[in-house]
Structure 1
Amino acid sequence: MTALDDPAEQATSSAGAHDHALFPSDPAQSSGGAEAAGRRSWVRHLTRWGAIGLSLILVGTLGYLWFDSRVPSTYSVLEMGYADYGGGAVPLAGHQHAGGVSVATLTGPSSGTPAVTATLTAREESFSLASGERVDGFTLNHASPGPEIRAKVGDLVQVDLVNESVPDGVALHWHGVRVPNAEDGVAGVTQDAVPVGGRHTYRFVVHDAGTYWYHSHQVSHEQVKGGLFGALVVDAAPSDVVAQVHTYDGRRTVQGATGERPIPAPAGVPTRLRLINTDNGPLPVSVTGAPYRVLAVDGHDLHGPTDITDRRLVIAAGGRADLSVTPPAGGGAVRVDLGAGSSLVVGPAGASAPAAVNPEAVVDLLTYGTPAPVDLDTSHFDRDFALSIGRSPGFLDGRPGLWWTMNGHLYPDVPMFMVRTGDIVKMTISNDSGEVHPMHLHGHVALVLSRNGVATSGSPWWTDSLDVDDGETYVIAFKADNPGIWLDHCHNLPHATDGMIAHLAYEGYTTPYVIGGKADNAPE
């Protein structure tokens, strides 16, 4: 038997071969393997520490962005964002308001007997719609919509707001009405929210005829949706019909009633319908059975309105439109369709109206009506502002998400548009956010000059609630003639809650009120 035939020798030979593979006898081969192993180890360590470093940088960046986005529990709107002077003169003190005139002093008349008075008691409660359905929400004087207030131009209006049981507090904003700043009803900016058991009195003179409304501006995205609102109309004829459109818990209503609402009206006689969109999105309106006219937008009459037969009107959230409809002289009624199964049927008692037809074409207020002179000199501007609406990922008050931006900034780092009394102001509003935004400027009325570079060619179009659709650019102008600190925000109220809020501030004015604080002010 040879050595290789010996099992013991085979085992020894195998072990020796294995040892030789693990520990080569050639010094050069041994050195090269060690170097290669060392390089591999170094690469592994470098990769590992690089990944750790990048992770730390990412975590640190995210942590900084989270920390930097946090909104203080209590702050003044004058401390937020950055001052934008629109190319106008910058005061020597810069963005300073200390020692200025308090908005609390900018009240309506303190003396004189009011021509119109109302006491509005706010409650959180379950209530019945006019059509019988039960809703859990908020009421004014046990009803929603709240009491309709009618006044004439020049009247002194006094409204006493009482909070009986709204736990977050309440304040009332007079939407579209040019009131003194202290009467604007914005919690944390022009007053403190009225707590349970509290009372607040509003006094102001109405200067403009038209259709307006009032609503809560404390936790407004919840309280308005829940029912804290009502109509205010100035110089309305007794026969005018006020139609507030509101959605309660998914139910579209007109004046608090679902379904079809009859409006008695004689054949051949025009009826003025004052439509108010109290919801958060655009309201499409179509009329069948007769032509209609758009008489006014946001409380301001249009010049030279003409008959419309094949187009629908879209009313912005917070906006108003007055329509003239005339039931046919030969009989029948006119249907004003307001969407989601809700409509008005205008005509003699018992008259039927045709089914709703919703045309694709839309009334273009840029060209509707005929031109007329305006009381605003737009040949020069003292301020020229840009408001660019977008959307961006980031942190808002410590919450990650896809948020609305203003001029590329996330709330609260948003613009404070600075003006002086008497300034003629131009503002270019562009929207590249993917959604429509109804922009509402408090305390002022603006004139639309152009859309997407095309100048207005119809009636002067004055507005306070302007839908700016995705991809659109509007140029508007107004006179800074109402001193104070005013909101300029999206009236899709959940959008405002998510940061679509800027302010128009007059130099030299300040506010003693704060967001948060003892009153827990939360205007949006």
Structure 2
Amino acid sequence: MPLKLTRRHFIASGTALATLGTPKVYAAGFDELRARVNEIQLLPEKYGQTQIWGFEGSAPGPEIRAVQGTQVQRRVFNDLPDPTSTHWHGIRIDNAMDGVAGLTQDPIQPGESFDYGFILPDAGTYWYHAHNRSFEQVARGLHGALIVEERSAIDIDHEEVLILDDWLVDPETAQIANTFGAMHDLSHAGRMGNYITTNGTYNLTRNVKRHDRLRLRLINAANARVFQLGLDGLEGWIVALDGMPLAQPKSVDGLLLLAPAQRIDLIVDVTAETGSAGHIVQLDRNESFSQVAFEVTGEGSSARRENPKPLPPNAYTKPDLASARNLALLMEGGAMGGMRGATMDGQMSSMRDMMQAGNFWAFNGAVGGMDGPPLADLSLGETVRLKITNDTSFPHAMHLHGMHFHEIEPNGSLGAFRDTTLLDRGEVREIAYVANNPGKWLLHCHMLSHARSGMMTWVDVA
């Protein structure tokens, strides 16, 4: 039975949104990339313009696209009022280029720049975003897509990069709400927006033809929102998660969960009739909304293609669970969590003292950060099996820098290969990876308010 779809309205009904235009696309090579303040028409025109922080003044920033095995070089200039840095999310990168202010580099001060240069080892869907006070800077718009193309073309008619985001906007001023670091966001589910966009656009629409085959690259750039997505008028297959291809495409026959920082690559065939529309559907509070509409303007072909083939795999070393080093990470704290205190700045502190310092969460009994000891000192090439326990009342999206990991299935086999895993409240998950990238690598919750308030640690690969 077809879903009953509703166009999501913001504050007032019957409004239309002016688009931001087409972002610039940089070829591989040296280019400047400026983080700066700008005024854009984010909301419908009746609300006036909104001040954002964006790469090249747009949100999302320019799409960076290059071919697997080539080099990307960007000189990032900071034209913002605050220090910043740029993290190249999901790229198995040299540690000095990872862009984590306070761990792999000093923050880029206002008026200064930093040169990032790195090889792209893996084809797939990635993104880049600010990594200094990221709970604020990403929410202000400092992010963009980084697409690494396969060396040979795949069988599709069109490709769409779709960056999903939500914004917390004051409707009286049309400005982003200056409530960063609010205690409720730090201690509960995180900063949730009241205005949802795709590629910076409200109710994004694309024109297609019936039986077109599309590659959809979905990126969740929201601070805390877990998008629950479905397909209507589209038949789809998951072909990659967090940039890494599946061994076999997996048919979409239910909801897709896309946690903050996660990516999903879909191959979809347009099955909606001419004159109607296919949709990426967002389900929220038992209602369904069109996240992206694909208006069917004609017939592309008279027949459907065969099911898609797998994407070319990215080369990597699979972990050997039999020889793995076992580690554990216990997540505690937050509202309704029952944690009474944790070690903070080397001393046992009460929950009240933690709250006064803006900390609400703990890893293994300690408030996390980059100044403390690592979760583990690892030898190069060592296999790690990490058991993560979410003993809190909220979901968390755990992201490991510099390396991808396998989620371990309940039967003990190696599951999806990705860089960010979503754990619901009370959930326990094991991940496994080979520590084959030397350096100091951050491991944190990508509900960015949670990372700010204690959910952060790191591993040192010698």
Does TM, scored on the shorter chain, surpass 0.5? yes
Question: Of 229, 241, 252, which aligns to 2:143?
Answer: 229
Equivalences, count: 368
Equivalent-residue separation in structure 1 for 2:396 and 2:373 (angstroms): 17
Counterpart of 1:389 in structure 2 is: 331
Counterpart of 2:247 in structure 1 is: 303
- Residue 129 of structure 2 is aligned to residue 215 of structure 1: yes
Displacement of 1:488 = 0.2
Question: Of 52, 56, 68, which aligns to 1:153?
Answer: 68
Counterpart of 2:367 in structure 1 is: 410
Deviations 1:92-138 (A, max 9, x none): xxxxxxxxxxxxxxxxxxxxxx9433321111333223865632220
Structure 1 residues 402 and 185: CA distance shift in structure 2, 3 A = closer
Structure 1 residues 395 and 163: CA distance shift in structure 2, 3 A = same
Equivalent-residue separation in structure 2 for 1:339 and 1:308 (angstroms): 15
Equivalent-residue separation in structure 2 for 1:401 and 1:191 (angstroms): 24
SS of equivalent to 1:129: coil
Counterpart of 1:248 in structure 2 is: 167
Please show how residues 277-296 of structure 1 align to structure 2 within 5 Å.
277-279=220-222, 280-296=224-240
Which structure has greater helix proportion? 1
- For the 8 Å contact 1:168–1:219, the answer to whether it is kept is no
- Residue 178 of structure 2 is aligned to residue 263 of structure 1: no
Equivalent-residue separation in structure 1 for 2:213 and 2:362 (angstroms): 45
Structure 1 residues 258 and 464: CA distance shift in structure 2, 3 A = same
1:241 aligned partner, one-letter code: E
Question: Of 269, 272, 290, which aligns to 1:326?
Answer: 269
Deviations 1:250-296 (A, max 9, x none): 2100000012x222223212101100001123111111123221111
Q: Which runs of 5+ in 1 are unaligned?
A: 1-113, 352-372, 508-524
SS of equivalent to 2:135: helix
- For the 8 Å contact 2:317–2:434, the answer to whether it is kept is no
Question: Of 65, 89, 108, which aligns to 1:194?
Answer: 108
Equivalent-residue separation in structure 1 for 2:211 and 2:255 (angstroms): 22
- For the 8 Å contact 1:135–1:248, the answer to whether it is kept is no
Displacement of 1:329 = 7.2
Counterpart of 1:316 in structure 2 is: 259
- For the 8 Å contact 2:87–2:128, the answer to whether it is kept is yes
Displacement of 1:494 = 0.3
Displacement of 1:214 = 0.2
Structure 1 residues 350 and 246: CA distance shift in structure 2, 3 A = farther
Equivalent-residue separation in structure 1 for 2:328 and 2:449 (angstroms): 23
Equivalent-residue separation in structure 2 for 1:306 and 1:167 (angstroms): 45
- For the 8 Å contact 2:230–2:255, the answer to whether it is kept is yes
SS of equivalent to 1:179: coil
2:167 aligned partner, one-letter code: Y
Displacement of 1:160 = 1.1
Equivalent-residue separation in structure 2 for 1:344 and 1:420 (angstroms): 45
Structure 1 residues 154 and 178: CA distance shift in structure 2, 3 A = same
Equivalent-residue separation in structure 2 for 1:172 and 1:121 (angstroms): 11
Cα RMSD, aligned residues only = 2.6
SS of equivalent to 2:72: strand
Structure 1 residues 299 and 143: CA distance shift in structure 2, 3 A = same
Displacement of 1:306 = 3.8
- Residue 292 of structure 2 is aligned to residue 344 of structure 1: yes
Counterpart of 1:422 in structure 2 is: 381
SS of equivalent to 1:349: strand
SS of equivalent to 2:367: coil
- Residue 401 of structure 2 is aligned to residue 442 of structure 1: yes
Question: Of 454, 464, 476, which aligns to 2:431?
Answer: 476
- Residue 408 of structure 2 is aligned to residue 489 of structure 1: no
Deviations 1:459-485 (A, max 9, x none): x41111100111211111111111000
Counterpart of 1:44 in structure 2 is: none
2:58 aligned partner, one-letter code: A
Structure 1 residues 253 and 456: CA distance shift in structure 2, 3 A = farther
Displacement of 1:401 = 7.7
2:375 aligned partner, one-letter code: M
1:316 aligned partner, one-letter code: A
Structure 1 residues 154 and 168: CA distance shift in structure 2, 3 A = same
Structure 1 residues 498 and 380: CA distance shift in structure 2, 3 A = same
Structure 1 residues 137 and 410: CA distance shift in structure 2, 3 A = same
- Residue 322 of structure 2 is aligned to residue 380 of structure 1: yes
Displacement of 1:335 = 0.6
Equivalent-residue separation in structure 2 for 1:233 and 1:190 (angstroms): 23
Counterpart of 1:203 in structure 2 is: 117
- For the 8 Å contact 2:359–2:454, the answer to whether it is kept is no
Equivalent-residue separation in structure 2 for 1:440 and 1:303 (angstroms): 22
SS of equivalent to 1:499: coil
- Residue 356 of structure 2 is aligned to residue 399 of structure 1: yes
Deviations 1:47-71 (A, max 9, x none): xxxxxxxxxxxxxxxxxxxxxxxxx
1:503 aligned partner, one-letter code: W
2:81 aligned partner, one-letter code: P
Counterpart of 1:357 in structure 2 is: none
- For the 8 Å contact 2:233–2:277, the answer to whether it is kept is yes
SS of equivalent to 2:248: coil
Counterpart of 1:272 in structure 2 is: 215
Deviations 1:370-398 (A, max 9, x none): xxx98414242342110111112315567
SS of equivalent to 2:320: coil
Equivalent-residue separation in structure 2 for 1:400 and 1:215 (angstroms): 26
Equivalent-residue separation in structure 2 for 1:131 and 1:206 (angstroms): 38
Percent identity, please: 33
Deviations 1:323-371 (A, max 9, x none): 12211275343110235755212243389xxxxxxxxxxxxxxxxxxxx
Deviations 1:383-420 (A, max 9, x none): 21101111123155671788212112234567522101
Equivalent-residue separation in structure 2 for 1:203 and 1:265 (angstroms): 37
- Residue 459 of structure 2 is aligned to residue 504 of structure 1: yes
1:388 aligned partner, one-letter code: L
Which structure has greater strand proportion? 2
Structure 1 residues 387 and 343: CA distance shift in structure 2, 3 A = same
- For the 8 Å contact 2:239–2:250, the answer to whether it is kept is no
Structure 1 residues 410 and 292: CA distance shift in structure 2, 3 A = same
